[in-house]
Amino acid sequence: MTSIGIIGSKGRMGHALVNAIGERDELDHAGGVDQDDDLEELLSHSDVLVDFSSPAGLGKRMELCAKAGKPILIGTTGLEPAHHLSIDDAASTIAVLQTGNTSLGVNMLAALVKEAASRLGDDWDIEIVEMHHRHKVDAPSGTAILLGEAAAEGRGINLDEHSERGRDGQTGARARGAIGFASLRGGSVAGDHQVILATDEERIELGHRAENRMIFARGAIKAALWLMKQKPGRYDMADMLGLK
């Protein structure tokens, strides 16, 4: 049996991951840790780790996984440049899959967004609208950023240099070629994302609606099992789905 350890086991995704593991007879839940728990003990019982905890302490977690030689999937959102550097360092020793969303549908959506952005000129404005439950603490969502990066890659531009966020007041006209973001929060929404490509007199709308958090858990488990077969390196869901 394959033993899967969960980092962030007490969160919503942690509980969903336990249920997803329980759906498959060939899998075993190795246990879970949360803040201040003993990750080294969990590593000794796990074949692969899945992390949906907070960004705090990610660097240390990556060091321990690399030291133990255990692959890890990181679904934690709200990462900053320093976190990505620690992921890159660990990926020289172990296989690491980092993603803003583990839904298979969302990652197929990202592929469609990239294709559309690559085919249409910058006279097509791109807006990304996302909505999540009232408890989500980061914005835009990791999925919205994933979709924005797909659009930017399709256009061959840098997202950080061409994104517009948090419009309020007299902002002036929309910049040509910008990728806009809008974040909505409320209720118990698991995750709604819409990418709008709009030009004069026509509009394309591509979207995904998550009806249950289990879609993310099942996608994460599938990706974690795939990751175990990979060489050391940094991967994403597009790699797992063969979209590259």
pLDDT above 90: percentage of residues in the chain: 91
Quick check: is 136 catalytic?
Answer: yes
Residue 120 has pLDDT above 80, yes or no: yes
In the chain, the largest separation of any two C-alpha atoms, in whole Å, equals 60
Q: Which candidate in 29, 132, 162, 193 is catalytic?
A: 132
- Do residues 155 and 123 touch, judged by C-beta distance below 8 A? no
pLDDT digits (tens, 9 = 90+) for 79-116: 999 999 999 999 999 999 999 889 999 999 999 999 99
Q: Is 158 helix (H, G, I), strand (E, B) or coil?
A: coil
CA dist 161 to 81, 152, 156, Å?
A: 15, 10, 12
Please name every residue paired with 132 in a beta bridge, in sequence order, or none if there are none: 185
Q: Which candidate in 15, 133, 136, 222 is catalytic?
A: 136
pLDDT digits (tens, 9 = 90+) for 206-241: 999 999 989 999 999 999 999 999 999 999 999 999
pLDDT digits (tens, 9 = 90+) for 22-81: 999 999 999 999 977 889 999 999 999 999 999 999 999 999 999 999 999 999 988 999
Quick check: is 193 catalytic?
Answer: no
